[in-house]
Structures are given as structure tokens and as C-alpha cells.
Structure 1
């Protein structure tokens, strides 16, 4: 499989009569956001807006609420997200197919410098036919997260060598303000517990994507408005 195969498979999820939603999951630091951003960029081309990205991270509970719940030291665990709100947004994106008024649905984003969710930060225009959403727990066997999975056409599992994943994650925490020792402690503690939960969901994915695929090149692409219903998926 090549990256072009991923582009073709993602595009083939769209139908003329409805949007499609593709989920990308994997352990913290596995490259989910990087993969999602590249898919969006290359599918859209220079001037199209038919693919949009909606991250799960916008549904982090705010620190003040985590403090109230006694979960601040476990930030990033499954119960530190508003999974029901996330599922509701995905359902709205699918059912309303662009929303009302000017056709924009606003999703929350996540500011890594502040480590806080930001309401209304991600506009999803009516022209978006494919939504790509990435997050850790899209395949978790839990009632709240199962509602998320039910809104997704496919879920791909992003996989990376474990030592490289940990190295990248430590570097990310340092980039956003943690000293080295604190970053390592967090990665090997809270983050690793979450990573173990995510790794256990790998078998439920529709496709496992390794770094050898995401590193491969791709040819220039013509943006697609939709794929006809009988278009084959790339397997």
C-alpha cells in the first residue's frame, strides 16, 4: 500500500447523497494529526474545500472541570473528554450535511500552548463532503465511545515504532512547556496507560497504517467532489 492508496480509499468513502466521516486513531504520539493533515491537504489540492479536519482534542474537558472531578492528574484519559458531545457533533455533521444559515458548523479546537479546548475554533463549511477526525479512543469498547464509532464510516489505526513514538511524545511535551524530567515522567506514566488502552483496540480498525506508508510520496491529485456509489475501495 502507498499513500496514494490511502488518498483513493479516503475519497471512495464519499457518496453523492451524504457526507462521509473517516476516523484516524492510534496511541499518543503515533502521528494521527500529521496523517490527517496530510490527507486533508493533498485531497483538497490548492483551492478546494471538500475535505475538512475535526480533531477529537477539542472535546478535552477544561482544567477547571478536571480539578472539580479530581481527574487533573490523568488528563488525556478516556473519562477526561466529553465523548457524548463529540459523538453529537459527528452526528450533526453527518445529518445536517453542512448545517443551517451560511452552511458552517463550528467545532471546538485545542490550544496546545494553553492545553485547553477552544470553542468555535474549527469551521466546517457546507462544501465539505469528507470529514477526517483523529483521536485516541475512536475504537474503545465503552458505551460513550461506541457512540462515536457508530458515526464513522471507517477507522484507521496509525502505528509507529514504540521507541520513536515515545521519543516524539517527550519532545512534544517539552515543546509546549514541560521540562525534560517532567515530560518523561508524564509520557511513561499517564500517557503510557492511555497508550496501552489504545493499543488494545488495534484489531477493531478497518486499516492499520504504518510509517512506511505515510512517508511515501504521492502524485498531484485532482480534487474529487464525490465518488459514485459503486466505486471500489482500495484494500
Structure 2
């Protein structure tokens, strides 16, 4: 997947700090593309939305653990406050999600005030629903468009370490419904990249 359409749009933007929203369904390649974009830009940092996952100690009593990754399982207020700090040009610390332990680690990421471009990566950044639609304004929005059959294959690889029934529950009960919600419920993006 080429970065050129994103780089071309960024080259036309002015300002001291730019916030780029990179969205797409689970297993669409957001993290890989975001990391490549940050590396290419040089004067850039990555803010993964996954750091704002609510902890299992909150989700489990609510009955939301099986839906971890759905919009209501994130700390949208915390994300909004971090974005406000970034827009103000501040030096910002943020949580990072450790997938191997299924927990967010507070203060594990740092974006210095001198960084010009921040690539924010996540499923729901353009979701046209209360709270989520208020996360902007964004200087540039990018959406990955990946066919369901490709997502299913990637998700099967992601959950290959689980028992088949558990993997199927994650894929069909959470990940693919989330993918449909990203596709059908997001606002239009400035740049759409297909696979």
C-alpha cells in the first residue's frame, strides 16, 4: 500500500502541529501503515487509540468483555483530553495497549511538543456517533478499505492461538461486526486507500 496519497495531502498543509486520523476495521493494516507513515515523515509520532481500551476489571462486571474493541469499551474522555493537549501543542504522555497482556499501560507513550505531525490510529476516530464525532477537527483523515474476506483471513491468523470456537466467537461475534460498523458508520475520509 502506497503512502503517496497521504504524503501528497500532508505536503499541502500548513500549521505547527498536524493531527492525522487513520481509521479502518480490525486487521485492516492500520498499525502497519501508521508506523510506516511516521517513519517516512521523520518529524512525527504515533498515538494508537488502543491505549484507551477500558480494562477488563471494568468490562467484565459490565458484561462487555466479549465486545472489547467496540466503541463503548474505550475511554473516549481520556482520548479526547489527550487530543486536546496535542492540538494545544503540548508535551503529552499517553497510554499504550500491551496486546500480549490485554492491558493498557498508563504513561507508556510520549509525544514531545516539538513533534509536528501526530498520526492517530484506530477504528472509531471517524465514527458518526455522539462523543466520537466530537474528537475532531482533524487536519487529514485516512480510511483503509479492506474486503471482508481479507479481514476474515487476517483475523483467523490473529486468533490462531485460540481454540477454534473461541476464535470464531471473537471473529464473528466482535471483530467482523466492528468492521461493518466502521464501514457503515464512519464519516467520509479525505483519503481512502484500498487493499
TM-score (ref. length: structure 2): 0.92
Q: 2:17 aligns with which of 16, 19, 31?
A: 19
Unaligned 5+ residue runs, structure 1?
A: 45-49, 100-104, 212-235
Q: Structure 1 or 2: larger strand share? A: 2
1:156 aligns with 2:156: no
1:124 aligns with 2:108: no
1:80-120 deviations in Å (ceiling 9; x for gaps): 0011211111111111x133xxxxx1111100101111111
Contact in 2 for aligned 1:84/1:147 (Cα 8 Å): no
Q: Take 1:159 and 1:80, find their aligned partners in 2: how far apart are those partners?
A: 23
1:182-209 deviations in Å (ceiling 9; x for gaps): 2232111111211111011355212211
Residue number in structure 2 paired with 1:167: 153
Contact in 2 for aligned 1:87/1:151 (Cα 8 Å): no
Q: 2:168 aligns with which of 170, 176, 184?
A: 184
Figure out how many residues of one structure are paired with residues of the other and give that number.
Answer: 195
Call closer, same or farther: CA 1:5–1:206 in 2, change over 3 Å: closer
1:205 aligns with 2:189: yes
Call closer, same or farther: CA 1:14–1:119 in 2, change over 3 Å: farther
Q: Take 2:156 and 2:39, find their aligned partners in 1: how far apart are those partners?
A: 27
Contact in 2 for aligned 1:51/1:131 (Cα 8 Å): yes
Contact in 2 for aligned 1:157/1:202 (Cα 8 Å): no
Unaligned 5+ residue runs, structure 2?
A: none
Contact in 2 for aligned 1:111/1:117 (Cα 8 Å): yes
1:152-209 deviations in Å (ceiling 9; x for gaps): 22221111222111111121123xx423432232111111211111011355212211
Residue number in structure 1 paired with 2:133: 146
Runs of 4 or more consecutive aligned structure 1 residues displaced over 4 Å after TM superposition: none
TM-score (ref. length: structure 1): 0.77
Residue number in structure 2 paired with 1:78: 71
User: RMSD between aligned alpha carbons?
Assistant: 1.8
- What pairs up with 1:55-66 in 2 under 5 angstroms? 55-66=48-59
Shift in Å, 1:3: 2.7
Q: Secondary structure at the match of 2:154?
A: helix
Shift in Å, 1:2: 4.8
1:98 aligns with 2:113: no
